[in-house]
């Protein structure tokens, strides 16, 4: 039995949810998000809450239950608060800057890395070694953060590279003479 799936998702004030034609649309102060609904799970909108219940007792329905509830919760949280990922850049000469709708990274390559910021996301660089990615879609924020990090993952000897804020980098000892 899913423990997270049993808990209904509360809809805060200023947020409206609507279920029709196999999609759930949630509208809030930050925007509108939609989710295609699974046939294995039933969704009920009542008393300012969205509850998710498996449609039958099959293993597939029970395995979708908790995940679908989490996806619904992410929609509600995204339109009210939004999501943010913060990346930290460490290394001599490594830096980032935003120019229009493009993120420019200098990561020790012979060329600068230019990444186009996807629609619906906002990227800020408070200083040269910090990148803040924010938006209402949790999946899009995480995906773009992973694409930025992919250019120079942190290495275990000096810790150089791009890491998430709060991420622990396991450090190794170098060669001994």
**Which pLDDT tens digit goes with each residue over 108-136?**
999 999 999 999 999 999 999 999 999 99
Written as six digits, the tokens of 165 are 């804020």
Query: Strand 113-116 and strand 49-54: pairing?
Result: unpaired
| 76 and 89 part of one domain | no
| 29 and 73 part of one domain | yes
**Mean pLDDT confidence for 37-43:** 90
Confidence of residue 52 (pLDDT cuts 50, 70, 90): very high
Residues 60-89: pLDDT tens digits? 998 889 999 999 999 999 999 999 999 999
pLDDT reading at 2 higher than 80: no
Residues 25-36: pLDDT tens digits? 999 999 999 999
Q: What is the pTM of this model?
A: 0.90
* CA dist., res. 176 & res. 153, Å (int): 25
| 109 and 69 part of one domain | no
* CA dist., res. 111 & res. 151, Å (int): 12
Surface-to-core class of residue 132, CB atoms within 10 Å of its CB (0-12 exposed, 13-18 middle, 19+ buried): middle
In a domain, residue 172? The reply is no
| 28 and 75 part of one domain | yes
Task: Give the three-state DSSP class for 128.
Answer: coil
* CA dist., res. 63 & res. 40, Å (int): 9
Determine the pLDDT at residue 1: 64
| 88 and 137 part of one domain | yes
* CA dist., res. 8 & res. 18, Å (int): 16
**Mean pLDDT confidence for 139-157:** 95
């Amino acid at each position: 039995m899913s423990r997270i799936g049993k808990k209904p998702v509360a809809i805060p004030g200023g947020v409206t949810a609507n279920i029709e034609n196999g999609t759930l649309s949630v509208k809030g102060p930050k925007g509108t998000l939609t989710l295609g609904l699974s046939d294995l799970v039933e969704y009920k909108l009542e008393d300012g809450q969205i509850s998710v219940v498996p449609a039958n007792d099959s293993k597939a329905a029970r395995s979708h239950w908790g995940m679908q509830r989490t996806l619904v919760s992410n929609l509600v949280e995204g339109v009210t608060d939004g999501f943010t990922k913060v990346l930290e850049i460490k290394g001599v000469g490594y830096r980032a800057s935003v120019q229009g709708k493009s993120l420019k990274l200098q990561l020790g390559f012979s060329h600068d890395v230019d990444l186009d910021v996807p629609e619906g996301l906002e990227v800020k660089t408070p200083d040269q070694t910090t990148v803040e990615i924010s938006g209402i879609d949790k999946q899009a924020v995480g995906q773009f953060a992973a694409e930025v990090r992919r250019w120079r993952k942190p290495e275990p000897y000096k810790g150089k590279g791009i890491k998430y804020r709060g991420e622990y980098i396991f450090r190794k000892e170098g060669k001994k003479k």
